[in-house]
Amino acid sequence: MNAKTAARLDFAIEFRGVTYYINDIPARPIVSGVSLTISRGETLVLLGRSGSGKTTLLKLINRMLVPSEGQVFVEGRPTTECNPIRLRRGIGYVIQEAGLFPHFTIAENIALVPTLEKWDSVRIAARVDELLRLVSLDPAEFSTRYPRELSGGQRQRVGVARALAADPPILLMDEPFGALDPVTRAELQREFSALTRRLGRTIVFVTHDIREALLLGQRIALLQAGHLVALAAPDDFLHLDQREVQAFTACLDSSDGVAS
C-alpha cells in the first residue's frame, strides 16, 4: 500500500478534485474542483448561501449524486465503487422538516434502517427506546404517535434519532434546524452540540446560518458558487479576510441577518 492510499484511511470522508454538473453541461458546475478531508469524529459545517452547492456536496457523500469529475472517498473507498444501498445504510441522514414517513408511527420511523437490516424485533424495540431517550423524548408517550401529532422540534428530534438508529459512524445533516422557530432551534442546537461531543460521530452539517456554524462546527467550510473559498476552525474563521467570509460574519452584528 503506498503512502497516498494509507493517508486516505485516516479520513472518514475525502473529496478529491470533485466537480459536479447536471446534464453534462460542464460550463455551469454546481460544485467545482472541491478538495477537502474530514477526519473521524469531526463535525464539519458546510456554510454558504442558497445555491452555493453545499447540499450537492452532502449528497455526493452518500452517492445520492455521483461526481462528474474527481472522486469522493468514504472510509477510504471511492463512493462509485460502493453499493449505494449499503453505503447509505451506514450513513445517517437528517433533513429539514425531518422527512419522516407520515404513515409510520414514531417508533416505526426510527426503526426504519434496523428493519431494513432485518434486526430481530426485541433488539429493534430496545434500540428505539434508547434513541428516544437520547433525544429527550419519553418512549411511553411518543412511540405509538404519528409525526403529524408532534411539534416541529419534536419531529426534528425523531429525525435525529432515526438517523442514528443503525449506529452509523457518519451523519449527514442538511439544515436540520432550519424550519424551527428561533427558541426551539437554539434549544436543539445546544442539545445537539452536547450530544455530538458525547457520540463522537463524523458529522457533516449544512447550514446558511453563521451562528449555527460557529456553535456546532469544529471546522467551517465556506462555499461560494460551487467553490470552496475558506476552511477554518471557528475562531480563525472570524478573522479571515475573504469578502464572502466577511459577508457572513457581518450577519453576526445585526440581529436580523440570522433568523431567516
Partner 1 sequence: MTPWNFFQSHRSEIFYATLDHLTLVVIAMALAIAIAVPLGMLIVQHRRLRTIALGIASVFQTIPSLALFGFLIPIPFIGGIGRRTAIVALVLYAQLPILRNTYVGLSGVDPAILEAAEAMGMTTTQILLRVRLPLGLSVILAGIRTATVITIGVATIAAAIGAGGLGTFIFRGVAMVSDAVILAGAVPAALLAIFADVLLGQLERALKVV
Q: Is 102 in the site for partner 1 (CB under 8 A)?
A: yes
201 binds partner 1 (CB under 8 A): no
Distance, CA of 126 to CA of 252 (rounded, Å): 43
Strands 170-174 and 202-207: parallel
Q: Minimum Å distance from CB 90 to partner 1?
A: 8
Task: List b or e across 99-110, with b for residues whose CB sees 16 or more CB atoms inside 10 angstroms.
Answer: ebeeebbbbbbb
Considering only residues 111 to 140 of the shown chain, the ones binding partner 1 according to CB under 8 A are: 112-113, 116
Q: How many angstroms separate the Cα of 184 from the Cα of each of 31, 43, 155, 157, 179?
A: 32, 21, 12, 11, 10
Under a CB-based contact definition with an 8 Å cutoff, are residues 94 and 172 in contact?
yes
Asked whether position 208 contacts partner 1 by CB under 8 A, the answer is no
**C-alpha cell belonging to residue 166:** 443503525
Q: Indicate the DSSP class of residue 80.
A: G
Does residue 180 touch partner 1 according to CB under 8 A?
no
Residues 58-87 that bind partner 1 (CB under 8 A): 62, 64, 84-87
20 binds partner 1 (CB under 8 A): no
The reply on whether position 148 binds partner 1 by CB under 8 A is yes
SS3 call for 51? coil
CA distance 164 to 93: 8
100 contributes a contact to partner 1 by CB under 8 A: yes
Q: Which residues contact 256 (CB under 8 A, 6 or more apart)?
A: none
Residue in 103, 118, 239, 243 binding partner 1, rule: CB under 8 A:
103
Determine, following the binding rule CB under 8 A, whether residue 183 of this chain makes contact with partner 1: no
What beta strand segments (E) does 145-197 contain? Answer: 170-174
Q: Is 155 in the site for partner 1 (CB under 8 A)?
A: no
Assess 88 for contact with partner 1 (CB under 8 A): yes
User: Measured from the CB of residue 114, what is the shortest distance to partner 1 in angstroms?
Assistant: 11
Are 141 and 149 spatial neighbours (Cβ–Cβ below 8 Å)? no
- Pick the piece of the chain touching partner 1 (CB under 8 A) from 18-26, 93-101, 187-195, 246-254: 93-101
Minimum distance from residue 102 beta carbon to partner 1 (Å): 5
Q: Which stretch binds partner 1 (CB under 8 A): 5-13, 71-79, 97-105, 128-136?
A: 97-105
Residue among 31 and 158 whose Cβ is closer to partner 1: 158
Identify which of 35, 34, 37 has the alpha carbon closest to the alpha carbon of residue 11.
Answer: 37
Residues near partner 1, by CB under 8 A: 62, 64, 84-89, 91, 93, 95-103, 112-113, 116, 148, 162, 172
